[in-house]
């Protein structure tokens, strides 16, 4: 088998924004270069900024169990991977911004794609509205109701 490879210019440096949890877990700091496995290949990444949390991360996110998260530019990563390994990676999520008043229309269009589960399309305004309508969720609300009943029962028998 013959494999031809076109000479590529030296890949530009891949930069990243690191969440504080990543910095703590990796023992890294802003300005430092770390090697990150992406798509089965080691990619040197320079941490240029830090943030308390990155969008989609936090104590309940999967990244919390694995030491935090890095935010990198996918085209820059793919230029590096292509130049060094002849490889590329596909995005696993998209963050979109719509024009004023177009969020609902864009979300409906995305949810209509046959290979997209409607629940996979998260819209910040919809999440905020759900939280405003039910800030504690059904679980804590039920616990509050149960605690009220228990307190009333204890008061009735003289334990409170």
Closest CA to 32 of 44, 40, 43: 44
Hey, CA dihedral for 80, 86, 40, 42, is it positive or negative? negative
DSSP for residue 118? G
Q: Is the pLDDT of residue 147 over 80?
A: no
pLDDT > 90 in the chain, percent? 35
Closest CA to 77 of 113, 40, 115, 50: 40
Provide the pLDDT for residue 64: 62
Q: How far is residue 155's CA from residue 160's CA, in Å, rounded to a whole number?
A: 5
Contact predicate 26/56, CB 8 Å = no
Backbone angles phi, psi at 35, to 5 degrees: -100, 125
> What is the per-residue pLDDT across 38-89, written as a single tens digit (0 to 9) for each?
999 999 999 999 999 887 777 776 656 778 889 999 999 999 999 889 899 9
Provide the pLDDT for residue 36: 94
Q: Is the pLDDT of residue 129 over 60?
A: yes
Chain mean pLDDT for the chain:
83
Provide the pLDDT for residue 14: 95
The pTM assigned to this predicted structure is 0.60
């Amino acid at each position: 088998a013959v494999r031809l490879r076109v000479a590529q210019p030296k890949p530009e440096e891949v930069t990243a924004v690191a969440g504080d949890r990543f910095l703590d877990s990796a023992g890294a700091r802003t300005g430092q270069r770390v090697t990150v496995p992406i798509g089965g290949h080691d990619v040197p990444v320079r941490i240029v900024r830090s943030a308390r949390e990155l969008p989609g991360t936090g104590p309940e996110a999967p990244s919390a169990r694995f030491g935090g998260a890095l935010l990198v530019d996918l085209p820059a990563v793919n230029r590096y991977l292509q130049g060094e390994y002849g490889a590329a990676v596909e995005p696993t999520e998209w963050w979109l911004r719509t024009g004023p008043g177009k969020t609902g229309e864009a979300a409906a269009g995305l949810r209509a794609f046959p290979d997209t589960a409607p629940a996979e399309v998260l819209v910040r305004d919809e999440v905020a509205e759900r939280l405003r309508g039910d800030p504690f969720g059904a679980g804590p609300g039920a616990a509050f109701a149960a605690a009220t009943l228990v307190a009333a029962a204890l008061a009735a028998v003289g334990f409170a």
